[in-house]
């Protein structure tokens, strides 16, 4: 795939998690490869790295959490914001398994980075 690679940029950081494909919503399932989903690791609030995988503040599912101001994102539902001040979901990185190898299927869907940049 032809793409611009910003070598060394923290904006390249991604979160990967394998989930039960049956838990993924209609938007998320086509972007997943055997239940594996990928998202930008840069919080949409102020751009901190999203580093935690913990039980949601509301509900029982595990979610991605940014520890800077406690925003939470549900990877089963396109990483939509389920808690905290983040203004929008994490950018999604579609995946596919090709010849037994996990590869990126398309560029990020959505904006990578925090509110300011
Ligand atoms: S930067 Fe992530 S919640 Fe504020």
Confirm whether 26 is domain-assigned: yes
What DSSP letter does each residue of the chain carry, written as one string? ------TT-GGG-EEEEE--GGGS-TTTGGG-BTTEEEEESB-TTT-PBP-EEEE-SSSSSEEEE-TTT--EEEGGGTTEEEESS--SPPPB--EEEETTEEEE-SSPBS--S-TT-
Domain total of the chain: 1
CATH of residue 40 = 2.102.10.10
Confirm whether 84 is domain-assigned: yes
Confirm whether 14 is domain-assigned: yes
pLDDT tens column, 4-49: 666 788 888 999 999 999 999 999 999 999 999 999 999 999 999 9
Confirm whether 4 is domain-assigned: no
> Model-level pTM?
0.92
**CB of 41 closer than 6 A to ligand 1?**
no
pLDDT tens column, 79-111: 999 999 999 999 999 999 999 999 999 999 999
Confirm whether 78 is domain-assigned: yes
Instruction: Name which residue sits closest to atom 3 of ligand 1, judged by CA.
Output: 69
**CB of 46 closer than 6 A to ligand 1?**
yes
* Domain carrying residue 48: 10-104
Ligand 1 atom closest to Cα of residue 43: 2
Confirm whether 100 is domain-assigned: yes
Ligand 1 atom closest to Cα of residue 85: 3
């Amino acid at each position: 795939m032809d793409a611009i690679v910003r070598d060394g940029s923290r904006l390249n950081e991604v979160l990967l998690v394998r989930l039960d494909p049956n838990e993924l919503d209609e938007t998320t399932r086509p972007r997943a490869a055997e239940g594996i989903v990928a998202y930008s690791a840069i919080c949409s609030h102020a751009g901190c790295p999203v580093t935690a995988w913990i039980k949601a503040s509301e509900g029982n599912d595990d979610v991605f959490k940014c520890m800077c101001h406690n925003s939470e994102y549900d990877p089963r539902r396109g990483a939509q914001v389920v808690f905290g001040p983040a203004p929008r979901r994490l950018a999604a990185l579609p995946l596919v398994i090709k010849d037994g190898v996990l590869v990126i299927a398309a560029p990020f869907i959505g904006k990578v980075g925090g509110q300011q940049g």
